[in-house]
Amino acid sequence: MLRPAEQSSQTSVKVANDVPALSKLGIVVRFGRHETIFNQGDEAKYSYRLVSGAVRHSKFLVNGRRQIADFSLPGEYFGFQNDCEHSLTAEALSDVVVVRYPRSHVERLGEEVADVRRELMLNLRRELMMAQEHLVMLGRQSAKERVASFIVALANRVDAGNGDTITLPMGRQDIADYLGLTIETVCRAISDLKQCGVIKVPNRHELVLLRLDVLEALASGESDED
């Protein structure tokens, strides 16, 4: 059963760059800031493509602690895992617009339509690669290396380079929970990178890339930076 706010926001529209076979199935749904799209343990009836805004994917432990597993950005798909239940909770970081697809139909199209199958495989490879990088980040990197890796990964996802401004739709606490650090450590690492002339920080939700090469060296463990 859809929540009242969700039901009233449904609209059928064509979304740019969507796979044609999927666009025929998609329903546009809007969620407000901090609204839950689905909870871990919910039946996985739908898959999604993010049109605008940003989405946080989290795992909640029984004691209430949270580990953020990923963030979704515009143009990316989520909720395509093969489990019968969602393993993570998806929450809107801002006002978001998503295209929602019935999973049973998507799975059938994945077997019948090459474009859909290709899109699903690309999404699966992206999620696997990011999960592997996240595992290495949490297990082997220093605090500054983790923050640098986060910025580099975000820059790659939006195809940003030196001189470009990237948006941080998530707060410092979200970044900390993703990187397995305290918010104080994240703020200190960002401040250190700013003082070293690697980035500029116009405000809490924007970073300007000044030395992407230094960030990449830090992320790979090749830099001598403290």
* pTM of the shown model: 0.80
- Of the pLDDT bands very low, low, confident and very high (cuts 50, 70, 90), residue 224 is low
Q: Helix count (H) and strand count (E) of the chain? A: 8, 11
Q: What are the pLDDT digits (tens) for 74-127?
A: 988 898 766 788 989 999 999 999 989 888 767 666 566 667 667 777 777 777
- Look over the chain and give the mean of its residue pLDDT values, rounded to a whole number: 84
| pLDDT value at residue 82 | 61
Gap between the Cα atoms of 89 and 59, Å rounded: 6
Structure-model confidence comparison of residues 82 and 215, the more confident one: 215
Q: Is the pLDDT of residue 63 over 60?
A: yes
| pLDDT value at residue 146 | 95
Which CATH number is 4-136 given?
A: 2.60.120.10
- Torsion angle of C-alpha atoms 74, 81, 170, 131, degrees rounded to 10: -110
Q: Is the pLDDT of residue 46 over 50?
A: yes
* Lowest pLDDT segment from 61-75, 152-166, 194-208: 61-75
Q: What are the pLDDT digits (tens) for 167-195?
A: 999 999 999 999 999 999 999 999 999 99
Gap between the Cα atoms of 65 and 72, Å rounded: 21
Q: Is the pLDDT of residue 130 over 80?
A: no
Alpha helix segments (H runs only) across 58-211:
103-112, 114-140, 143-157, 172-179, 183-195
Q: Is the pLDDT of residue 24 over 60?
A: yes
- Segment 189-217 shows an average pLDDT of 96
Query: What is the phi-psi region of residue 180: left when phi exceeds 0, alpha when psi lies from -120 to 50, beta otherwise?
Result: left
| pLDDT value at residue 11 | 43
| pLDDT value at residue 52 | 95
Tell me the three state secondary structure of residue 143: helix
CATH fold, domain 141-220, is Arc Repressor Mutant, subunit A (1.10.10)
- The amino acid that residue 95 corresponds to is D
Query: What are the sequence ranges of the domains in the chain?
Result: 4-136, 141-220
